[in-house]
Amino acid sequence: MDAQTGGFITCVLVGLLVGACGVYMLVTGNARIMHSYHYAATPPAKMPSLARWSGAGMLVCGIGCALLVPATGMPEWLSIVGIALLVAGLVLTFGAIMHFNGSLFSFAGAGGDSRESEGSSRTLVMGLGVVVAVICCAVTVVPGVLMIASGDPSALHSYHLVNVAPENYAALARWEGAGMIVMGAGLAASIVGALLGSQRRPAPRWTKVLMVAGTVAFGCGLVSMLAAIIHFNGSLMG
């Protein structure tokens, strides 16, 4: 099995799993397959609406994921369509949670949780979020800057460079590096917006804007990276 076939099968399986969860939520109006902190502060009367809106977003995410790595013979631009759908689905899902739950993460004590327990949960999530944000920057922004500075795209998988002319290496490195920086910064911004929004219910508008803008930036960075590979390499997988 080659890399493209393996990637295609993986994306389709993940897409089917996510899409099936979305369909379940759409049909049943039951949001409880999500983490409890995504609906802890949602009024019971709004639970079906939360389930259906977030389920629709998950269905779109699943379709997008299934298109990320096209099978042999399928057009390469489907990858870009897949990323666009994935980002749109994430925005719809997260937006629904923040609208109906008041924030992306809620530690409201629906069952009488103490303030001390709620504070401990928030501290834990904030700590984990900071660690994740730092890691995201470390593995995306830093390599992106180095790739632009060196003009060397060899950090990419070899099959992304098979058909790239040597004189185009520097240009490809600049595009890939810029895309990685935008992608990493967007992901970090989304995490920060989600975490800060979880500290107040309802979440402040600026935290919602930051999270949505970060998610869109992540998608734009990823799209530009794939588009550059397709342009210079002739195809995504070589």
112 three-class SS: coil
Single pTM value for the model:
0.70
Do both 237 and 145 map to the same domain?
Answer: yes
Of 101, 132, 149, the position where a domain reaches its end is 101
How confident is the model over 163-184, as a mean pLDDT? 94
Do both 206 and 91 map to the same domain?
Answer: no
Euclidean distance between CA atoms 238 and 225, whole angstroms = 15
Q: Is 1 exposed, middle or buried (0-12, 13-18, 19+ CB in 10 A)?
A: exposed
Most confident of 19-33, 72-86, 112-126: 19-33
| Residue at 16: amino acid letter | L
How confident is the model over 208-232, as a mean pLDDT? 88
> What was the pLDDT predicted at 119?
56
Query: Which range has the worst mean pLDDT, 11-20, 86-95, 142-151, 190-199?
Result: 190-199
Residues 125-144: b if buried by 16+ CB within 10 A, e if exposed: beeebeeebeebbeebbebb
Of 54, 70, 101, the position where a domain reaches its end is 101
Do both 93 and 147 map to the same domain?
Answer: no
Euclidean distance between CA atoms 91 and 201, whole angstroms = 19
The pLDDT confidence band at residue 122, using thresholds 50, 70 and 90, is low
How confident is the model over 48-77, as a mean pLDDT? 87
Of 73, 101, 129, the position where a domain reaches its end is 101
Q: Where in the sequence is the domain holding 67, given as residue range(s)?
A: 1-101
Whether 106 maps to a domain, the answer reads no
Q: What is the pLDDT of residues 126-161, one digit of tens each?
A: 676 677 777 777 888 888 999 999 999 988 888 889
Do both 128 and 229 map to the same domain?
Answer: yes
Do both 12 and 118 map to the same domain?
Answer: no
Count of structural domains, the chain? 2
Whether 43 maps to a domain, the answer reads yes
Do both 149 and 221 map to the same domain?
Answer: yes
Euclidean distance between CA atoms 109 and 94, whole angstroms = 21
**Nearest to residue 87, comparing CAs of 183, 201, 227?**
183
Q: What is the pLDDT of residues 63-117, one digit of tens each?
A: 998 888 777 677 778 888 888 898 899 889 988 998 898 877 776 544 444 455 5
> What was the pLDDT predicted at 125?
63
Whether 107 maps to a domain, the answer reads no
Do both 129 and 231 map to the same domain?
Answer: yes
Do both 117 and 222 map to the same domain?
Answer: yes
Do both 172 and 222 map to the same domain?
Answer: yes
| Residue at 45: amino acid letter | A
> What was the pLDDT predicted at 236?
75
Whether 164 maps to a domain, the answer reads yes
Do both 78 and 135 map to the same domain?
Answer: no
Residues 6+ apart with CB under 8 A from 85: 60, 61, 63, 64, 67
Do both 122 and 90 map to the same domain?
Answer: no
Do both 129 and 230 map to the same domain?
Answer: yes
